[in-house]
Copies of this chain bind each other. A is one copy, B any other.
Amino acid sequence: MNKSSIKGVGMSEETAARRGRGRRPAAEVRAAVLAAAGRILLQDGMQAVTFDRVAVEAGSSKTTLYKWWPSPGVLAAEAYFALSRRTLEFPDTGDIRADLIAQLTAFVRYLKEEGAEKPVSELLGAAQLDPGLARAWSESYALPRRALARERLRVAVRQGQLREDADLDIIVDQLWGACYHRLLVLRVPFDESLVERLVDQALYGSAPHGAHLS
């Protein structure tokens, strides 16, 4: 019943570094957990990010994971955010068409050339079945991103590069939504050659020249 009959054996300072039992500083544990979760996510996919496996690979404890993250999905998302700490700043060169193309191209390139397609679609997939993950994703990633884009568009409106009555959210939804549509729903391949046509479609529409809203 009392397993610690070896108690008081003492432990040299060196071996104490990683001695298995007892408490490690929270920050250290968090870092180890996020690193392990991120690695598992990229290597073996969302399905492999389980509390059990993360605990083992992070040298952590399941109890700790449950204390900090409500579900493996949320943990995977946070690990992914920590990995992909990339700039969200929207460029502003004064030319809204060029800036939209630049930003969308960066998005598509990120998905297609940096191996982000699989983790992103898997995380978004899991989010549909995990309310916590859904909230984390929209609040920490998608909505802030859309807000940034909206602000850049608002500047363009003020500069007369977009019409006064343009619905900025709809423009954002159209541009990024088209990509997500191909990624998640149609699952057809696409590349950055899509971007320019998409932006022009957003700016000029498809109606014959001269036609416009009544």
Q: How far is the CB of A103 from chain B (nearest CB, A)?
A: 15
With contact pairs A126-B125, A207-B163, A213-B200 given, residues A1 and B78 touching in the complex (Cβ less than 8 Å): yes
Closest chain B residue to A143, Cβ basis: B186
Asked if A43 is at the interface (CB within 8 A of a chain B CB), the reply is no
Asked if A171 is at the interface (CB within 8 A of a chain B CB), the reply is yes
Q: How far is the CB of A147 from chain B (nearest CB, A)?
A: 11
B132 touching A128, Cβ below 8 Å: no
Q: How far is the CB of A28 from chain B (nearest CB, A)?
A: 14
Interface size grouping (class) on chain A: 35 or more
A181 touching B186, Cβ below 8 Å: no
Asked if A61 is at the interface (CB within 8 A of a chain B CB), the reply is no
Instruction: Give the residues in chain B near A12, CB-CB below 8 Å.
Output: none
State in angstroms the CA–CA spacing of A170 and B179 once bound together. Answer: 10
B128 touching A122, Cβ below 8 Å: yes
B201 touching A171, Cβ below 8 Å: yes
Q: How far is the CB of A100 from chain B (nearest CB, A)?
A: 11
Q: How far is the CB of A76 from chain B (nearest CB, A)?
A: 10
The 5 closest A-B pairs by CB, nearest first: A125-B128, A177-B181, A2-B71, A177-B177, A205-B205
Residues of A within 8 A of B (CB): 1-5, 7, 26, 30, 45-47, 67-74, 77-78, 121-122, 124-138, 140, 142-143, 146, 160-163, 166-167, 170-171, 173-182, 184-188, 194, 197-198, 200-209, 211-213
